[in-house]
Amino acid sequence: MHPLIQHINKINSRSVTDVPKILSFFEAYSFRKKEMLLEEGKRCAAYFFVIKGCLRLFFTDENGVEQTLQFALENWWMTDLEAFRSGRISGYSIQALEPTEVLSISHRNYEQLLRENSLMEEYFRRVYERAYAASLLRIQLITRMPKQAFYENFESKYPGFLQRIPQKVLASFLGFTPEYLSELRKKRKEKK
């Protein structure tokens, strides 16, 4: 079964009955490692579902430092949702961190898919609810936990990330400098 259909069936209370119809709204794309799917300052025209690989959403601050806000692994969605929804230019970039295969849906197709299929309306509502809850938890952990505890929590919940994401990118996501993350990892290895 197609990964998107599996994901829809896993999250929804109802299953997809017309697989070809749902998939007809999407286009498949492949991206090389470090290839950009969306660039900050450009129009956001697509919403991406990761079939294979890893994406990151980030912006570049006034000092030229990249700040990573989100990752998307297999079966995760990624876009600049406000820019996608409104048709405005994006305040973020999306980059493939490894060779990545995605399904892409345009705004027009997305709106049509939701109008024509209540199952997909339910699916995306549940996806957004989960993403919002995860964002709130991340903010809470960043603000409440000491840095070392925050890293240890992340390491225990997402051990696969540590192998797939470059240290500089992971540090920007965690709110650390690369040097601090390197020192933290070194200390943890010494303890083990």
User: Residue-wise pLDDT tens for the chain (192 aa)?
Assistant: 799 999 999 998 788 888 899 999 999 999 999 999 999 999 999 999 999 999 999 999 998 889 999 999 999 999 999 999 998 999 999 999 999 999 999 999 999 999 999 899 999 999 999 999 988 888 888 888 888 888 888 888 888 778 888 889 988 888 888 888 888 888 777 776
Query: SS3 for 136?
Result: helix
Strand order in the sheet with 55-60: 36-38, 93-96, 55-60, 66-72
- Return left, alpha or beta for 53; rule: phi > 0 is left, psi -120 to 50 is alpha, else beta: left
Quick: pLDDT tens for 44-97: 999 999 999 999 999 999 988 899 999 999 999 999 999 999 989 999 999 999
Phi, psi for 13 (deg, rounded to 5): -80, -20
- At position 55, the amino acid (one-letter code) is L
For the chain, the residue count is: 192
Whole-angstrom distance, CA of residue 32 vs CA of residue 132: 29
Residue 70, phi then psi, degrees to nearest 5: -145, 155
Classify residue 114 as left (phi > 0), alpha (psi -120 to 50) or beta.
alpha
CA angle 62–134–82, rounded 5-degree value: 50
- Find, among 127, 181, 112, the residue nearest to 4 by Cα: 127
Q: Is 77 helix (H, G, I), strand (E, B) or coil?
A: strand
Q: Which of 59, 53, 14 is nearest to 34 (CA)?
A: 53
Q: Cα angle at 141 between 137 and 146, to 5 degrees?
A: 175
Give CA–CA dist 112/117, Å, rounded: 8
